[in-house]
Structure 1
């Protein structure tokens, strides 16, 4: 069922079941969740042909943009990815096994690891990044530039409100 049809069905069901109820907030959140899911799936589709998924691509892109040649401490990588350190460990394990990242003890903190891209990992990012950005650009093309900025502004306002 497409999203507009789904939303109308949910609205009608609530109207029939609880006529005094205003389900508008729920419908807005369903719309946000559907948008995140549909767009996330569409973006992830570009990663599959190069052997990546959303989370592994995030690690590679983050290291490419934010790490120097010595990499990043695993804790900083976790913060930049907004995931737990345990999640980073699993992701790095898989990427290391494929030869795209290395893990070395941090010389400044022997309890911590530094994660860095290998030459193969950097080459993969450089090869995949234009395709990824072009696909995201195409998905956003239904909006004009001002609408994209407005959408981002509104979403950030919602996020700030929820984060307190």
Structure 2
């Protein structure tokens, strides 16, 4: 293959093979490409969030509330768990969403010390529109693959992620 035909990751690997022939640099082929792809995908996804005046984190919060079903509410700790962010970061997101009129906060009826975050009607309308466009955007991005390629990739990524999330279970296989 000509050097011009190699992608960036392949060029980096070729350089490392030349400079460090004692090392196996083959993992870079997968990890490097996944990293580059993740950066590109994130940029493409953020374009949709921005059209709705949302950051990626705010979009995640609104989605977590919408997925909860009627009455579209969760405790802040539950939101943090459903979006994989710290409670401190969650507080900042909720503050901004509340100022924008997209969510409200109130005391929990079950525990007066606890709080509940709920979607407002404008928040639900916004996330329904944003999520619809988000799914169209994800479809557009995934359409670069054939259906069979997408299915195979999903299977591989699911297996890999499961093993990364649960390393002890994978060790016992």
TM-score of the superposed pair, with normalisation by structure 2: 0.86
Give the 3 Å change call, closer, same or farther, for CA 156–162 of structure 1 in structure 2: same
CA contact (8 A) 1:70 1:114 kept: no
CA contact (8 A) 1:62 1:77 kept: yes
Q: Distance in 2 between matches of 1:153 and 1:103?
A: 39
Q: CA RMSD in A?
A: 1.5
Partner of 1:88: 90
Report the count of equivalent residues: 161
Q: Equivalent of 1:45, from 44, 47, 61? A: 47
Partner of 1:56: 58
Q: Distance in 1 between matches of 2:130 and 2:72?
A: 22
Structure (1 or 2) with the larger CA radius of gyration: 2
Q: Distance in 2 between matches of 1:86 and 1:124?
A: 24
Q: Distance in 2 between matches of 1:153 and 1:76?
A: 28
| Structural mapping, 1:1-164, within 5 Å | 5-69=7-71, 71-163=73-165, 164=167
CA contact (8 A) 1:67 1:116 kept: no
Q: Which runs of 5+ in 1 are unaligned?
A: none
Q: Distance in 2 between matches of 1:102 and 1:5?
A: 48
Q: Distance in 2 between matches of 1:112 and 1:33?
A: 39
- Structure 2 counterpart SS, 1:47: helix
CA contact (8 A) 1:71 1:115 kept: yes
Larger CA deviation: 134-143 vs 144-153: 144-153
Q: Deviations over 1:61-109 (max 9, x none)?
A: 1111114316111111111112221221111111111000011111212
Q: Distance in 1 between matches of 2:27 and 2:149?
A: 22
TM-score of the superposed pair, with normalisation by structure 1: 0.91
Give the 3 Å change call, closer, same or farther, for CA 129–70 of structure 1 in structure 2: closer
Q: Which runs of 5+ in 2 are unaligned?
A: 1-5, 168-173
1:144 Cα shift? 2.3
Shift >6 Å, 4+ stretches: none
